[in-house]
Structure 1
Amino acid sequence: MPFQCCMGSQMKCSMGASPSALIPTPKPIMTNSKVAANIMDHIPIANIPPFGMCKSPANPTVAAATAAAMGTLTPMPCVPATPAPWVPGAPTVLVANFPALDNTSKLMCLWAGVIEFSDAGQTNHQIP
């Protein structure tokens, strides 16, 4: 069974250079004494900090820098673009009226990155 994600869950992006930690929106629901996350915790910068440098050619800043470097891929600072919620979440467990976020959920970035968890932030609470 997957683990429930919470404050400090480690994430990685397929187009990012470094990991990042989830920052759930404050809510009264806790897991292992940390703020629990739900699928709506997808807001760039507020919930999803940058992943270092972005290497996606779909990112306009990377595309511009790559063009300026005569076609040599030039990574640029990551600014996540995540307009849709995490999928699928755990629909049988609600956190603040939305499905809980588990460590098997994924988040799609507009710049072609896939964000997933490398660590749920806790190992005491499993959710179906």
Structure 2
Amino acid sequence: MTQRAFIILLILLAVAVALSATAFPGSMIGFLFAIAGAFFVAVPGAAIGDALRQGGVPVTGEQLLWALAGLYALLPLGAAVQAWLRLRRGDFDKARSAALRLALLLALPLMAWLSVNSMQHAWP
């Protein structure tokens, strides 16, 4: 990835984060995050929780959410290590790609939080 593309994509990511805090686009983004959370977090989480309960492991929904959040926290850490290693090797294109992945992984929870808050404030 070239430096120009990296800077443009970082600016677009910053614009997306800023739009997440506004009334109309933010509430729409929050609605999309809610749908994605229902399909990609709640359904597999419920299936995993039921399987663990049937296996004799008492687990609550809150514990399962904390475990999933912990697993998600490992993703930016891995992207940061990957960017650092590629930067040390002198592979700047791949280092910028990993740094953009890190920025995206850090921006997604912020966008979700901002957009869900704007959706709650815009709801009649």
Normalising by structure 1, what TM-score? Answer: 0.24
- How does the TM-score come out when normalised to structure 2? 0.24
Q: Which has the higher helix share?
A: 2
Structure with greater contact order relative to length (CA < 8 Å, sep ≥ 6): 2
Q: Which has the larger radius of gyration?
A: 2
